[in-house]
Structure 1
Amino acid sequence: MSESAEQVQTTERLWQEFRQEPFPDSLRRATFEGTDVWLIELDIAGCVLRWLDNNGTLDSKNSILLQSRIEDLDRVIPEINDPVGGQYCQRLHQLAVLVSRNLPSTK
């Protein structure tokens, strides 16, 4: 199995596991730097689904969005006081980073 096929397979498994998790109540109204956490999650989920639907590729618009949301999570995660919310965002971050690994650089 190629590395990219393995990455898609791993991402599919992690995505299915992530989808089983309910969105933590502690994050429902959480806002960091003017952005709602649920919106960060929604954008990442959309990018992950597009990436999976396109066999491990994203267009430049979604690549930029995904990278931006990873950076948002980098700032958000240390501010979360609830362990359940923190773990949820860590898993979301792990999934986003896995998808972004082989994308073209947006910098």
Structure 2
Amino acid sequence: MHDLVADLARLWKDHVRAPFPAGFRGVDVGGVDLILLDADVAGLVQGELSGGLDHGGVASLWRCIADLDTILPLIDEEYGAAYFTKLRTMARIAASPHLPTAI
């Protein structure tokens, strides 16, 4: 678990330094507002890093991951694709402690 927290903290640090892809400001892809998606994931990752998410936060994070899964195949600009792929990776790591256990 500690490695996940360290990985998430490192990805978060990298994310806040990365500029949002300029050509994607105010753009919807696949019905998803990209700036809002970025902001939602950022808030949820911060929540996970500062003590964890409640059930509503976990559900929101999984919705964001689903949105990222929708938009990624539709983005053909290199930096934009890399930016949102990293955002998805960060979201998946933040969500990983909240996966249901197998019985």
The two structures have a TM-score, normalised by structure 2, of 0.91
Q: Give the aligned partner of residue 85 of structure 1.
A: 80
Q: Which runs of 5+ in 2 are unaligned?
A: none
Where in structure 2 are the equivalents of 1:30-69 lying within 5 Å? Answer: 30-54=27-51, 57-69=52-64
Q: What amino acid maps onto 2:86 in structure 1?
A: R
1:43 shift after superposition: 0.5
Q: Give the aligned partner of residue 17 of structure 2.
A: 20
- Assess if the C-alpha contact under 8 Å between 2:30 and 2:74 holds in 1: no
SS of alignment partner, residue 45 of structure 1: helix
Percent of aligned positions that are identical: 29
Distance 1:58 1:104 in 2: 13
Q: What amino acid maps onto 2:74 in structure 1?
A: E
Q: What amino acid maps onto 1:23 in structure 2?
A: F
1:26 shift after superposition: 1.6
The two structures have a TM-score, normalised by structure 1, of 0.88
Where in structure 2 are the equivalents of 1:66-77 lying within 5 Å? Answer: 66-77=61-72
- Assess if the C-alpha contact under 8 Å between 1:31 and 1:37 holds in 2: yes
Please identify runs of 4+ aligned residues in structure 1 that moved more than 4 A.
none
Q: What amino acid maps onto 1:35 in structure 2?
A: V
The count of residues paired between Structure 1 and Structure 2 equals 100
Q: State the superposition RMSD in angstroms.
A: 1.1
1:73 shift after superposition: 0.4
Q: Which runs of 5+ in 1 are unaligned?
A: none
Distance 1:82 1:30 in 2: 13
1:18 shift after superposition: 1.1
